[in-house]
C-alpha cells in the first residue's frame, strides 16, 4: 500500500522532549505562573501501551506494540495523529503528544494533545496485514478514544484509508457510525474539504502576516522550500500564487535551484512521472543542506526535524523562516537566528493549519453539516491570522522570539484552564 503522509519524520526523541520542556519552563517563568505547572505539564496525563497480535498472510502470528499517549485534557478532548514506524517509541510519542497540547492551545481550538504510534514497518506489510493491524490497534485503544475523549488523525505512514478503518472498527463496537472519532478521513465518510491542503495553506497565511510586518513584498520576493511533499508543495503553490518566485525545492533525493523561479505546474507533472524533483531540466542541482543557505527572502523547511543547526544558522540568508515541519530548527540555531534578527514562525503556529481543519472536520461530523471548501479556507485563514496576531503581540510586548511568544500564549491558555478546573480531588 502506498502511504502518503509525512515520511521520515522521526525526531530525535530526547531532544524534542527536552527542548519542549525547556520552552515550557521558560514560558512558565516569563508568565510568572506557579512552577507546579511545569511539574504537571512535564508528564503525560495518560499512557496506554497495547499488544497487537495479528495473523500474517503466511499463516503465522506476529505481535506488534502500540501506544496512545494523552498529554493534557484541560482544554478539551485529546487530539493528535497516529504514526506507524519501526523506530517509534513511547518517548517520541510522549514528546509529540506534548507538542500537540501547545499547538492546539496556540490556535485556540478546544483540544488537549495526544499522539499514537505502532512499532511496525508498514512498507513490509500487505494491505490485508495493515488493515488487521489497524483494526486490532483501534480496538485496543477504543477504551480511551472517542469523539468526546480523544480523536486520532493521520501522521507518519498513516493516511485517510487507515483513518477509515479506525472509524469503521470503532463504529462496529458502538453499533452505529461514529465519524467524529477520527479526522483526516476520506470525504465520502465524513472527511472535510480542504484537509489535505490545510497545513501548507496555513503556513502561507502566517507567512503573509509576517511578511507584511517585516515589509517583505511577497510579490517581489523569493522562497526556498525544503521538502516538496504535502506541506511543502502546497506552501510553494500558494506562495507562487501570491507572486513569490519559488527558486528552490527539494525532496529526500536532493534539490533543484533556478534563479528565475520554477514553473510549479511543469515541476508537478515531472515529479508525478518520476517520483522526484531531482533531474528536472534546466535547473541547477542543490543539496538539501545548501538549499537552506541560498539567497532568498523566505525559507520553508517542510521535511524533517533538526535541519537548521548551530552550524548552518549563521549562514541562513532568508529574512523569514516558517517551520512547515515539526522541529526543523535546533535550540542553538533558534538562538542564533533570533540574535541575527531573522524572524522564525514556530512550528506550533506555522503548521497548525492541519489540526485546525481537523477540528473543523470534527465539528462538521458532530453536526452532520458539511462546509464548502471556500468556507473551510475562510475559517482557516481567520484562525491562523488571529493566532499569528496574538503571538506577535506577546513577542512585541516581551521582546521575545516568536517561538517563546507562542509558548507563552499556549501555556497561558492551558494554565488558566487548569487553574479554573482546579486540582482533583
Identified catalytic residue from 45, 115, 185, 271: 115
Query: With CB under 6 A as the contact rule, which of the stretches 109-117, 139-147, 296-304, 366-374 interacts with ligand NAD?
Result: 296-304
Contact 106, 348 (CB under 8 A): yes
Query: With CB under 6 A as the contact rule, which of the stretches 6-14, 104-112, 331-339, 379-387 interacts with ligand NAD?
Result: 6-14
Output the smallest distance, CB 82 to ligand NAD, in A: 13
Return the residue matching grid coordinates 478514544: 145
Output the smallest distance, CB 113 to ligand NAD, in A: 13
21 half-sphere exposure, CB direction, 13 A CA radius: 18
- Judged on CB neighbours under 10 Å (0-12, 13-18, 19+), 331 is middle
Query: With CB under 6 A as the contact rule, which of the stretches 112-120, 237-245, 247-255, 334-342 interacts with ligand NAD?
Result: 247-255
Interface with ligand NAD (CB under 6 A), residue from 113, 152, 160, 229: 229
Q: Closest residue (Cβ) to ligand NAD? A: 229
Contact 11, 327 (CB under 8 A): yes
If one counts every other C-beta atom within 10 angstroms of the C-beta of residue 12, the result is 15
Angle (CA) 24 29 31, round 5°: 95
Q: 115 an active-site residue?
A: yes
Contact 393, 211 (CB under 8 A): no
Contact 126, 6 (CB under 8 A): no
Output the smallest distance, CB 388 to ligand NAD, in A: 16
Output the smallest distance, CB 224 to ligand NAD, in A: 12
CA pair distance 75, 87, nearest whole angstrom: 31
Phi first, then psi: give them for residue 302, nearest 5 degrees: -130, 35
CA pair distance 206, 211, nearest whole angstrom: 8
Output the smallest distance, CB 154 to ligand NAD, in A: 8
Query: With CB under 6 A as the contact rule, which of the stretches 72-80, 319-327, 332-340, 375-383 interacts with ligand NAD?
Result: 319-327
CA pair distance 200, 190, nearest whole angstrom: 22
- C-alpha dihedral sign at 194, 349, 246, 268: negative
Site for ligand NAD in 161-220 (CB under 6 A): 199
**Residue 108 touching ligand NAD (CB under 6 A):** no
Interface with ligand NAD (CB under 6 A), residue from 208, 251, 297, 404: 251
Contact 188, 166 (CB under 8 A): no
Report which secondary-structure segment, H or E, holds 237: helix 230-241
Output the smallest distance, CB 302 to ligand NAD, in A: 5
Cβ within 8 Å of residue 331, ≥6 positions away: 19, 22
Interface with ligand NAD (CB under 6 A), residue from 211, 303, 337, 391: 303
Site for ligand NAD in 336-375 (CB under 6 A): 351, 354
**Residue 309 touching ligand NAD (CB under 6 A):** no
Interface with ligand NAD (CB under 6 A), residue from 5, 158, 258, 330: 5
Query: With CB under 6 A as the contact rule, which of the stretches 1-9, 83-91, 161-169, 204-212 interacts with ligand NAD?
Result: 1-9
**Residue 8 touching ligand NAD (CB under 6 A):** yes
Output the smallest distance, CB 392 to ligand NAD, in A: 21
Interface with ligand NAD (CB under 6 A), residue from 69, 164, 304, 336: 304
Query: Given the rule CB under 6 A, which residues bind ligand NAD?
Result: 5-9, 199, 226-232, 250-252, 288, 302-304, 324-326, 351, 354
Q: Which residues are catalytic?
A: 115
Amino acid at each position: 500500500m502506498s502511504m502518503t503522509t509525512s515520511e521520515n519524520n522521526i525526531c530525535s526523541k530526547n531532544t524534542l522532549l527536552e527542548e519542549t520542556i525547556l520552552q515550557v519552563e521558560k514560558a512558565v517563568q516569563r508568565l510568572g505562573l506557579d512552577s507546579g505547572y511545569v511539574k504537571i505539564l512535564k508528564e503525560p496525563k495518560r499512557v496506554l501501551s497495547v499488544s497487537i497480535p495479528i495473523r500474517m498472510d503466511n499463516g503465522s502470528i506476529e505481535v506488534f506494540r502500540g501506544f496512545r499517549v494523552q498529554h493534557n485534557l484541560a482544554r478539551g478532548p485529546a487530539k493528535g495523529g497516529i504514526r506507524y514506524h519501526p523506530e517509534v517509541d513511547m518517548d517520541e510519542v510522549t514528546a509529540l503528544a506534548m507538542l500537540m497540547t501547545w499547538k492546539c492551545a496556540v490556535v485556540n481550538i478546544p483540544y488537549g494533545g495526544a499522539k499514537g504510534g505502532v512499532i511496525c514497518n508498514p512498507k513490509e506489510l500487505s494491505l490485508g496485514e495493515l488493515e488487521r493491524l489497524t483494526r486490532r490497534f483501534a480496538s485496543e485503544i477504543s477504551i480511551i478514544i472517542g469523539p468526546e475523549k480523544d480523536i486520532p488523525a493521520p501522521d507518519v505512514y498513516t493516511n485517510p484509508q487507515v483513518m477509515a478503518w479506525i472509524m469503521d472498527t470503532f463504529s462496529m463496537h458502538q453499533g452505529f457510525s461514529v465519524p467524529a472519532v477520527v479526522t483526516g478521513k476520506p470525504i465520502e465518510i465524513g472527511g472535510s474539504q480542504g484537509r489535505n491542503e490545510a497545513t501548507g495553506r496555513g503556513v502561507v497565511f502566517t507567512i503573509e502576516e509576517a511578511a507584511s510586518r517585516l515589509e517583505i513584498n511577497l510579490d517581489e520576493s523569493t522562497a526556498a522550500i525544503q521538502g516538496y511533499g504535502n506541506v511543502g508543495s502546497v506552501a510553494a503553490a500558494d506562495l507562487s500564487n501570491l507572486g513569490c518566485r519559488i527558486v528552490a525545492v527539494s525532496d529526500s533525493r536532493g534539490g533543484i535551484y533556478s534563479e528565475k523561479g520554477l514553473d510549479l505546474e511543469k515541476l508537478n507533472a515531472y515529479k508525478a512521472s518520476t517520483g522526484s524533483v531531482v533531474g528536472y531540466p534546466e535547473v541547477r542541482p542543490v543539496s538539501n543542506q545548501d538549499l537552506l543557505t541560498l539567497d532568498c527572502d523566505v525559507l520553508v523547511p517542510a521535511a524533517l526535524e533538526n535541519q537548521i543547526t548551530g552550524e548552518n544558522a549563521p549562514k541562513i540568508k532568508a529574512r523569514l523562516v516558517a517551520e512547515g515541519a515539526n522541529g526543523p530548527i535546533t535550540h542553538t540555531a533558534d538562538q542564533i537566528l533570533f540574535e541575527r534578527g531573522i524572524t522564525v514562525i514556530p512550528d506550533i503556529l506555522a503548521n497548525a493549519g492541519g489540526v485546525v481543519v481537523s477540528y473543523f472536520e470534527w465539528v462538521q461530523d458532530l453536526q452532520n453539516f458539511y462546509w464548502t471548501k471556500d468556507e473551510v479556507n475562510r475559517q482557516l485563514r481567520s484562525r491562523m491570522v488571529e493566532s499569528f496576531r496574538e503571538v506577535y503581540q506577546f513577542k512585541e510586548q516581551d521582546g521575545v522570539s516568536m517561538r517563546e511568544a507562542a509558548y507563552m500564549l499556549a501555556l497561558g491558555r492551558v494554565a488558566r484552564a487548569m487553574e479554573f478546573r482546579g486540582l482533583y480531588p
